[in-house]
Structure 1
Amino acid sequence: MAKTDARTESAMTTPIHVISLTSATDRREAFSRSIEGQELDWRFFDAHREPVGIHYDEAAAIRHHGRPLQPGEIGVYSSHAALWRQLVADPTTNQYLILEDDVIADWAAIRMLCAIDYAAEGMEYLKLFYKLPSPHLPDRRNWPVPGFYVVRLYGKPYGAQGYFITKKAAARFLELYNDAVRPIDDQTDRFWENGIPNRCLFPFPIMEAYRPSTIGPARFAGKQTRAAKMRLRADRMRRKIAFMMDRALRR
């Protein structure tokens, strides 16, 4: 593994793609002001409102996740998947930083992180934030510089507000998750299924600005089918077993 100073002084600059609806002018203006003068390679990605290049089957979503996906969830899913496809086809880089437009960022930390070659570090997918407390184990200490840590997540932490992703992880996610049967962050959290460790940097270099959800409370409505409950129970067991096994190996 390269030394820390070699990583952080690299000439690499990771392209940053910020998912944002074209109609979200206030968000775009706020984000643009926040990143102004940071000398980062960034651009807005026009978020999708409809599924593009993915398949959504409501019956399959109910069967796997226990409920239909809301229109906003489908648009978010389609937008992230589109950027994965773009990355796989992009001849200029091996990795992207994907952000949503409602993040508040420590741009000095982001500049440092954008200089890292994640494939060379064996880190194909790295979250910068998650929403819910989750069982975790330490993965790397004082990485990439003292004071930062990487943890592996074993629960359902949710959150796709910001993450680094390599071509390898993007191709794997596209291979498994072109069918939108769960929200996008629920899919990428399925480490036992996709083989991509669910890692996150801590302390978080970004956070989500509070705004009322545009997806709405309807996503919590309705009763789950018995089959969906059984699938969710099996998923919980897989996460728990993986956590217990990895914790035992560290002793």
Structure 2
Amino acid sequence: MMESLVPIHVISLSRSGRRDAIARLLADHGVAFHIEDAVDGRLLTQSELHAAYDDAAARRRYGRSMTRAELACFMSHRSVWRKIVESGRAAVILEDDAILEPAFFESVLCADESRLSTVADVVLLGRSKLRRSASSWIYFNEPLRRSTKIGGLRVGVPFKQWTSGSVGYWISTQAARQALAYAEGPVDALLDDWPWHRDEGGARVVELRPYAVWEDFERLPSSIEEERRTGARSRTSLREVALWPLRLVRTAARWGVVAMQGLSSANHVLSTRHD
């Protein structure tokens, strides 16, 4: 079996029919992993929903109620955080529709918790609802701020994290412990609301580049997305075209910020050497 510094927890609904495929993939690479039964939102009773969910708080933040699948997702990940704290080891959490790059096995699973935890509490290993073919555009449009390299992993803070999802992420033991503290009680936020994790608990959330995990969203539709689509309005193609000039300006501004941060960092190194 492959020597791995990082345990793997795969969250999977027993009725999804997906766990066999990812279990086979991980087994074929000779890595140890744990299949974690996800909470099934469809089976929650009204009394369980009332006890587990704060609808008023969710509406204040999002302007809508959370779906059962969104609530169940948060509860599922929270139960795995408890296991991470009990084990005392950082871990990777995957959802059962994850597609894994070779770098996942070669670099992510060999990450040194003590080194990585100096710059991050949570490392997002991929992004939901993103085609592999569009990765180059995402890397260009969403450059990383304060990028740094830890071992074979390059991580940094993206300009936007709202759509990052939770298909795969690394979380330190301390971060899992803190998350259990600030996420205690009725759920009032989406699991992949990473700005909420940052603001509520001070979590340092960074992204990995290039991504090592992808979501197989086209072949394996998500139950969360099925519920989210109810009543949602899709953007028209005309609006998308109209937004392009603004997006290009935004991208240029982001790279300007990255360049300034790079110059500032280089000047600091030169000054330190001079002193």
Give the TM interval when normalised to the shorter protein: 0.7 to 0.9
Q: Is the partner of 1:48 in helix, strand or coil?
A: coil
**Tell me, which stretches of 5 or more residues in structure 2 are unaligned?**
131-137, 234-253, 265-275
Equivalent in the alignment of 2:144: 137
Equivalent in the alignment of 2:72: 75
Equivalent in the alignment of 1:48: 39
User: For the structure 1 residues 12 and 33, does the alpha-carbon distance in structure 2 shift closer, same or farther, using more than 3 Å as the test?
Assistant: closer
- Counterpart residue identity of residue 37, structure 2: D
1:152 to 157, 160, 163: 157
Equivalent in the alignment of 2:135: none
**Identity in percent:** 27
**In the alignment, is residue 214 of structure 1 matched against residue 223 of structure 2?**
yes
**Tell me, which stretches of 5 or more residues in structure 1 are unaligned?**
1-10, 224-242
- Counterpart residue identity of residue 23, structure 1: R
Equivalent in the alignment of 2:8: 16
- Counterpart residue identity of residue 60, structure 1: A
Q: Following TM superposition, by how much is the alpha carbon of 1:176 offset from its aligned partner in structure 2, in angstroms?
A: 1.5
**Under a length normalisation based on structure 2, what TM-score does the superposition of the two structures give?**
0.68
Stretch of structure 1 that moved more, 36-45 or 102-111: 102-111
User: For the structure 1 residues 77 and 15, does the alpha-carbon distance in structure 2 shift closer, same or farther, using more than 3 Å as the test?
Assistant: same
Q: Is the partner of 2:164 in helix, strand or coil?
A: coil
Does structure 1 retain, via aligned residues, the 8 Å contact 2:121–2:205? Answer: no
Equivalent in the alignment of 1:163: 169
User: For the structure 1 residues 94 and 150, does the alpha-carbon distance in structure 2 shift closer, same or farther, using more than 3 Å as the test?
Assistant: same
Matches within 5 A, 1:87-98: 87-90=84-87, 93-98=88-93
Does structure 2 retain, via aligned residues, the 8 Å contact 1:173–1:188? Answer: no
1:184 to 181, 191, 216: 191
Q: Following TM superposition, by how much is the alpha carbon of 1:169 offset from its aligned partner in structure 2, in angstroms?
A: 0.8
Q: State how far apart, in whole Å, the 2-side matches of 1:213 and 1:191 are.
A: 25
User: For the structure 1 residues 189 and 143, does the alpha-carbon distance in structure 2 shift closer, same or farther, using more than 3 Å as the test?
Assistant: farther
Q: Is the partner of 1:151 in helix, strand or coil?
A: strand
- Counterpart residue identity of residue 125, structure 1: V
2:62 to 40, 62, 65: 65
Q: Following TM superposition, by how much is the alpha carbon of 1:141 offset from its aligned partner in structure 2, in angstroms?
A: 4.5
User: For the structure 1 residues 175 and 153, does the alpha-carbon distance in structure 2 shift closer, same or farther, using more than 3 Å as the test?
Assistant: farther
User: For the structure 1 residues 222 and 29, does the alpha-carbon distance in structure 2 shift closer, same or farther, using more than 3 Å as the test?
Assistant: closer
User: For the structure 1 residues 62 and 218, does the alpha-carbon distance in structure 2 shift closer, same or farther, using more than 3 Å as the test?
Assistant: same
RMSD after superposition: 3.0
Q: State how far apart, in whole Å, the 2-side matches of 1:193 and 1:58 are.
A: 18
Q: Is the partner of 2:36 in helix, strand or coil?
A: strand
**Under a length normalisation based on structure 1, what TM-score does the superposition of the two structures give?**
0.73
User: For the structure 1 residues 24 and 117, does the alpha-carbon distance in structure 2 shift closer, same or farther, using more than 3 Å as the test?
Assistant: same
User: Across the two proteins, how many residue pairs are aligned to each other?
Assistant: 216
Q: Say which structure is richer in helix.
A: 2
1:71-120 Cα shifts (integer Å, max 9, x gaps): 11111110000011111122xx4211100000110245334322222233
Q: State how far apart, in whole Å, the 1-side matches of 2:216 and 2:232 are.
A: 28
Q: State how far apart, in whole Å, the 2-side matches of 1:149 and 1:208 are.
A: 20
When Rg is computed on C-alpha atoms for both structures, the one with the higher figure is 2
